[in-house]
Amino acid sequence: NYLVYLAGGFVLLLVIAFNIEYRQALWLQEIGQKIILTMRQQVFDHIQTLGPSQLNQVPVGKLVTRVTNDTNTLSEMYTDVAANLIRNVIYLTGILIVLFVINYKITLILMLFLPVVFLATVLFRKYSRASYRKVRSNVSEVNAFLSENLSGMKITQAFNQEPKKRQVFYDKSNQLRKSYMNEILVFGTYRPLMYLFSMIGILLILFLGIGDVINQATYLFVFSAGLLFSYYSYVRDFFEPILQMAEQFNMLQNAFASAEKIFDVLDTEPDIQNNTDAVELESFKGSIVFKDVWFSYIPDEWVLKGVSFEVKPDQTVAFVGATGSGKSTILNLIVRNYDIQKGQILIDGIDIQEIKRESLRKHIGQMLQDVFLFSGTLKDNIKLFDETKTDEAMMEAANYVGLNHVIDNLKDGYDHKVLERGNNFSSGQRQLISFARTVLYRPSLMILDEATANIDSETESIIQESLEKMMNISTMIIVAHRLSTIQHADQIIVMSHGKIVESGSHQELLKEKGLYFNLYQLQYEERKVQ
């Protein structure tokens, strides 16, 4: 009966131990994954608050690395390292207590190794942190290069640059390999060192203990053969979790390096922030006033110089001029991608810097030259994945801008698959999708930046019709390359070298025979040649 109870108790202990181990692993994994989910979301949310100038300074591939690779590395720390660290610390504490109970004198001598172990760990931490930083940096470099070159593969192939790109990629990958090897070298030195300390400790016990057993000495250690073997076993077990923690320290240093990269992003303050007393723009009539506005991307290199103009509600105002004259900069300032250095911008009579940026953009629809389409369906891209927009409203917007002619030729209609960046649609078709998207959201202000550039004449005529319809919806500001698209604008503002040199209607500017007249004549002659 005694053996049955003993066996039953042992089985019960095994079940309890298994249950504790299982629940501990599950609990730590759940907590770790929740922490990583929160951190990954925080990094992504923070990236969305950064301004264009900040995002342009960091390659997309590096930001992708921050959100994915680096957070995954932290996940290993919270799940694997944390679980094993707790277990090993408890295990070490228990063994240390047993060693003191068996023989506290020799245990105190063994404790002299701990400062040496600590010093070795400090040195390892110093060199390993640098090597892990280098690894994370090189991973980011490879990801950034891949992201950029996969996006620009057409250009690479068009100019036969494959061999050159292949060599650059090899060089970057080789640098990553070298940094990994340096990381392995650093860790490969630390673990054998810890193993050496454990062997020295065991040899010390055998050297001192066997002498006591043979001589039956009682002056220092008082060991019997059984106690000596037991002590030896515990010392061997004592160094095993230290070796395991050495391996986990490797993962820990990797996680610290990733955490530094992540917090570099999180610590980057957005260059455009709402004032503490900024107001919500509940409604927007469409009035915009620039008062002696000066702006520069680089200090003292002025892009806009004393620009003043007024856009009245429901007006259509167009900006024309040579490349670099400041047209697109004005649009960037209206949506507050940047803050001005001098002057004032008023939105419905309120200083733009006193309005919450999110509430301002809520009333503005932007149609840019380079239309970005997301992977998904045509419906997703018109609605921008907003389920509150009905299919009826979406179709009405598409018909309004003439997109229905494109959709009629698609087998799946609005459910037609959109490839990455909308590569299965032409420039003109992407522009019409952008128009439909904007009309669906009915903004109080529509902004078009070179919306008719790089499209064929047939598509241009459809877009021209759409533009004339859209002018009746709300206030519209257009940056135009083709002057034929803005002849019906209420006001045309001509820019040159960051200043306004002419303004008026199409007919008024032609009569002045100034810069606008010359631009118009030049395009007219080009069309005649074509």
Q: Give 24-73 pLDDT, tens digit per residue.
A: 778 877 887 888 888 889 999 999 888 888 888 888 888 888 888 888 88
In DSSP terms, which residues pair with 342 in a beta bridge? 294
Q: Which residues contact 238 (CB under 8 A, 6 or more apart)?
A: 92, 95, 96, 99
pLDDT tops 90 at residue 318: yes
pLDDT tens string 435-469? 899 889 889 999 988 766 656 666 667 777 777 78
The span from the first CA to the last CA of the chain, in angstroms, equals 106
pLDDT tens string 260-313? 888 888 998 888 888 888 999 988 998 999 999 999 998 889 999 999 999 999
For the chain, domain boundaries: 1-103+252-270, 104-222, 288-529
pTM score above 0.75: no
Dump the DSSP string for 403-448: THHHHTTSTTGGG-EE-GGGTTS-HHHHHHHHHHHHHHH--SEEEE
* CATH architecture of the domain covering 288-529: 3-Layer(aba) Sandwich (3.40)
- How far is 163 from 468, CA to CA, in rounded Å? 49
- How far is 429 from 406, CA to CA, in rounded Å? 7
DSSP conformation class of 81: I
pLDDT tens string 122-180? 787 778 778 888 888 888 888 888 888 887 887 787 778 888 889 999 999 999 999 98
Domain 104-222 bears CATH identifier 1.20.1560.10: yes
pLDDT tops 90 at residue 11: no
pLDDT tens string 372-405? 888 889 999 999 988 889 999 999 999 988 888 8
pLDDT tens string 65-100? 888 888 888 877 777 777 677 778 888 888 888 888
Cα angle for residues 367, 372, 376 (degrees, 5° grid): 125
Tokens of 195: 């193993």
Residue reference for tokens 């080789």: 174
- How far is 383 from 389, CA to CA, in rounded Å? 6
Q: What is the pLDDT of residue 216?
A: 54
- How far is 314 from 477, CA to CA, in rounded Å? 10
pLDDT tops 80 at residue 243: no
Work out the average pLDDT over 415-422: 88
pLDDT tops 50 at residue 219: no
Q: What is the pLDDT of residue 144?
A: 85
Q: What is the pLDDT of residue 218?
A: 45
* Amino acid in the structure at residue 35: I
Element (H, E) at 43: helix 2-49
Work out the average pLDDT over 230-252: 76
- How far is 13 from 217, CA to CA, in rounded Å? 40
pLDDT tops 90 at residue 490: yes
Q: pLDDT band at 211, cuts 50/70/90?
A: low
Q: What is the pLDDT of residue 18?
A: 82
Least Cα distance to 318 among 522, 106, 478, 88 occurs for 478
Asked if residues 291 and 343 have their Cβ atoms less than 8 Å apart, the reply is yes
pLDDT tens string 356-375? 998 999 999 888 878 888 88
Mean pLDDT over the full length of the chain: 84
CA atoms within 13 Å, Cβ hemisphere of 343: 19
